[in-house]
């Protein structure tokens, strides 16, 4: 088993459970970007608009909840996945100035998640529950 670079605070039972609020920023930007692009390249415009609409649906239905021991993923109120912090090896938010993608690696898999949630709460929960080794 691979050791985790995170400190032992990942099993702190005093941490509050936090559900991230949705953020429609990325889906809205994609849909708005598709409008003027339609005058230049209709196929690309449609692809971007459809992706923006897909992310809008995901933003509406998916919730991330940080519990004291795991990141839980809910769709329409039903839990669909759980990622215990003890299995995390790394996480990263790309690009800090314009956050669009959240990446985390577990012992057996990697995950990429678009930032369709409140960025500042996401970052603070990650730093609190899975602080990086210095």
pLDDT of residue 12: 61
pLDDT digits (tens, 9 = 90+) for 41-81: 999 999 999 999 999 999 999 999 999 999 999 999 999 99
Average pLDDT for the chain: 89
pLDDT digits (tens, 9 = 90+) for 114-125: 999 999 999 999
Across 71-93, average pLDDT: 95
pLDDT of residue 101: 94
User: Could you tell me what percent of the chain has a pLDDT over 70?
Assistant: 89
Q: How confident is the model at residue 14 (pLDDT cuts 50, 70, 90)?
A: confident
* pTM of structure: 0.83
What's the chain look like in SS3?
CCCCCCCHHHHCCCCCCEECCECCHHHHHHHHHHHHHCCCCHHHHHHHHHHHHHHHHHHHHEEEEECCCEEEEEECCEEEEEEEHHHEEEEEEECCCCCCEEEEEECCCEEEEECCECHHHHHHHHHHHCCCCC
């Amino acid at each position: 088993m691979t050791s985790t670079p995170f400190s032992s605070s990942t099993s702190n039972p005093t941490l509050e459970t936090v559900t991230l609020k949705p953020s429609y920023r990325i889906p809205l930007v994609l849909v708005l970007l598709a409008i003027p692009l339609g005058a230049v390249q209709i196929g690309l415009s449609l692809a971007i608009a459809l992706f923006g609409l897909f992310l809008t649906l995901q933003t509406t239905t998916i919730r991330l909840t940080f519990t004291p021991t795991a990141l839980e993923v809910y769709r329409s109120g039903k839990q669909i996945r759980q990622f215990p912090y003890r299995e995390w090896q790394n996480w990263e938010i790309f690009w800090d100035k314009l956050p669009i993608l959240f990446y985390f690696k577990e012992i057996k898999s990697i995950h990429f998640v678009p930032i369709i949630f409140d960025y500042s709460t996401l970052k603070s929960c990650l730093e609190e529950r899975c602080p990086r080794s210095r």
